[in-house]
Amino acid sequence: MMRIILLGPPGAGKGTQAQFISKEYDIPQISTGDMLRAAIKEGSELGKQAKDIMNAGGLVSDDLIINLVKERITKPDCANGCIFDGFPRTIPQAQALADADVTIDHVIEISVPDDEIVKRLSGRRQHPGSGRVYHVDHNPSKVDGIDDVTGEALIQREDDKESTIRDRLATYHQQTSALVGFYQDKAKEGADAPNYDKFDGTQGIDDVKQQILSALKG
């Protein structure tokens, strides 16, 4: 059984590393968004509750999210464990997960400084028609600002503008970064506590991958 929580700011590379871990251990990535959509599609009791709340423009409560998590991890594809993607986001969610006796085996933090995150994300450029993505430093188009295939102009998405990225990072630091301390403290609690490991996300993708897989194999 391998239940893993990935922590780190947006753009740290959590999604990329989650794919490696998922393949290595044959476990699914679970995001709250995917869970909600699946429960609503299935028409489960929890899905109906979530649908009613969302249709009314409300926010789904932590209690309902935790119940969805408990329901989701009983599915056959979670027999070997799962990776929690973007959950928990806050201390109350993390505490509710613990109170619900959902065992977490590993917490992995991928640490990247804010300025590096801004550089990574704000350098992205996209061709609107095809969705092709370039990066001004790491994967530039042949002609600056022009799509290689069509010759059409590239755009910078609103999500990739520095001001938007800084806002997202501020939200992360206000809400989610407190989870680092929460799980570091949890890791000291004894035999059933999750292992906590922190990795430098400014390294190469393969280096981070090998270090994470090594830590998971313990």
Catalytically annotated residues = 14, 89, 124, 157, 168
Residue with tokens 């809400």, as numbered in its chain: 175
Half-sphere exposure of 72 (CA within 13 A, CB side): 27
- For residues 183 and 107, is the Cβ–Cβ distance under 8 A? yes
The two tokens of residue 58 are 């409300």
The two tokens of residue 41 are 């599609």
Contacts of 8 (CB under 8 A, 6+ apart): 14, 109, 110, 111, 112, 201
Report CA torsion sign: 6, 12, 18, 20.
negative
- For residues 64 and 49, is the Cβ–Cβ distance under 8 A? yes
Residue with tokens 């530039």, as numbered in its chain: 140
The full length of the chain comes to 218
Helix (H, G, I), strand (E, B) or coil at 103: coil
CA distance 188 to 10: 27
**Looking at residue 137, what DSSP letter applies?**
T
CA distance 40 to 168: 28
